Amino acid sequence: MKLSVAGTGYVGLVAGVCFAEKGHVVTCVDVDEEKISQMRQGISPIYEEGLEELLKKNIDKGRLFFTSDYQSAYSDADAIFIGVGTPEQPDGSANLRYIAAVCRQIAQSVTRDCLVVVKSTVPVGTNDKVEQFIKDNLERDVTVRVASNPEFLAQGNAVYDTMHAARIIIGTEDEVAKKTLLDIYAPFDLPIVSVSRRSAEMIKYACNNFLALKISYMNDIANLCELVEANIDDVAEGMRYDPRIGAKFLKAGVGYGGSCFPKDTKALTYLARQHGAQLKTIDAAVEINAQQKTRLFEKAKKRLMTFENVKIAVLGLAFKPGTDDLREAPSLDNVRLLLEHGADVVCYDPIAAQNFHKRYPNVPLANSVEEALEGAFCCFIFTEWEEFVRLTPEVFRRKMRVPLVYDGRNILDPELMKRGGVEYYSIGR
């Protein structure tokens, strides 16, 4: 089919590339001419394993195109996928201005019947508004159907998650829209759950909020483990065999970040308040996560007399490994506090350093772990990159002025660190 995708961020670009890989002819639309030029050359503007290779491959095969000319992209498409951002507003609600802008462009451009598919994470009822908004602004006598198709990719594994999804959720209100989506996804050969549009919108929020709740629960238990001298790793090991609980998202640390969980928890609580309800479990998850992010900073603050003019090494800036995304990353909260307390901060991240530099241009960036650790009095680990997992006590002891390590991802062995002469602190152990 001939598909167009609005937006070339994590949602739109990954979807467009994967649709092309499955044989569809795809045109990705973005307003940023620099990004468009970059992608036409086969360069991905975001870091995701395998994405750039597939991008180049499908450009060469003539199945993937990039443009800022939305009129040509939307005019005769069989389906138009909306993958633009829905950023959080100050009150926690989702900002739908980018969705509205694309809908207006679609209404002005389409010359034939087509399907508009909302992949962006949107509040329940948004697809109804999208349908009405497009109808109100249509400039030609055509039929535009609207469907919900939320994405469930995890950054760092986005391509794999799209190509090997546990399920595809489609939300439609008529058989034509349903059949079109079934045809689009037929080459993926994946389980498809077909529901109403509003149910599809709620499924996305329910899933993300449940996972955020699971992470916050484990962090809450980890903090209690420290007080009663239990080990959260042992607790998680015992829990993961229970099929009712599952093995994933049981790892304690300094909280969740990224583009989904922080935004979606706040958006769902806002939606509940708008309808006179309160989601007490989600409220608790948000509160726990906010406190968890700086838990190790508070520990270090008690341990050190002052941060003033003290060299602090920060290892890991991205909110998780496998991505260069810094949105809501715990590292940002901690770097801000360290700078406010007068610390001399040096940071290292193998992928996200340049994105960090755009936010903190005056904070030195090291080219390696050892360079970051050189002469440091303290080290914080905020991302579980594999090269950090392999660090030995000898590296900290040899390079640091004081081998004092605060591990926010529980990636190092406490006993090994202790035996190796490192003063080591983690979460719940």
User: Distances from the Cα of 181 to the Cαs of 101, 114, 145, 173, 353, in angstroms?
Assistant: 23, 11, 11, 12, 39
List the structure tokens of 368.
């390696």
Per-residue pLDDT, 426: 98
Q: What is the pLDDT of residues 25-60, one digit of tens each?
A: 999 999 999 999 999 999 999 999 999 999 999 999
CA distance 357 to 54: 28
Per-residue pLDDT, 22: 98
Helix ranges restricted to H, 275-399: 280-292, 295-303, 330-340, 353-359, 369-373, 386-389, 393-399
Number of C-alpha atoms within 13 angstroms, CB side, residue 158? Answer: 28
pTM of the model: 0.91
Per-residue pLDDT, 409: 98
- Domains, the chain, ranges and CATH? 2-195 (3.40.50.720), 203-292 (1.10.1040.10), 295-425 (3.40.50.720)
What end-to-end distance do the CA atoms of the chain give, in Å? 53
Please choose, from the candidates 374, 387, 277, 378, the residue with its C-alpha nearest in 3D space to the C-alpha of residue 322.
387
Please choose, from the candidates 160, 115, 162, the residue with its C-alpha nearest in 3D space to the C-alpha of residue 19.
162
Per-residue pLDDT, 333: 97
CA distance 193 to 200: 9
- Indicate the helix (H) or strand (E) that contains 3: strand 2-6
The amino acid sitting at 59 is I
Catalytic residues: 260
Per-residue pLDDT, 378: 98
Each residue of 152-176: b (16+ CB within 10 Å) or e? bbebbbbbebbbebeebbbbbbeee
Successive 10-residue mean pLDDT values, the chain, 429 residues: 96 97 98 95 94 97 97 97 92 92 97 97 96 97 97 91 96 97 98 98 97 97 97 98 96 93 93 95 96 97 97 97 94 98 98 96 98 98 98 98 98 97 97
Per-residue pLDDT, 270: 93
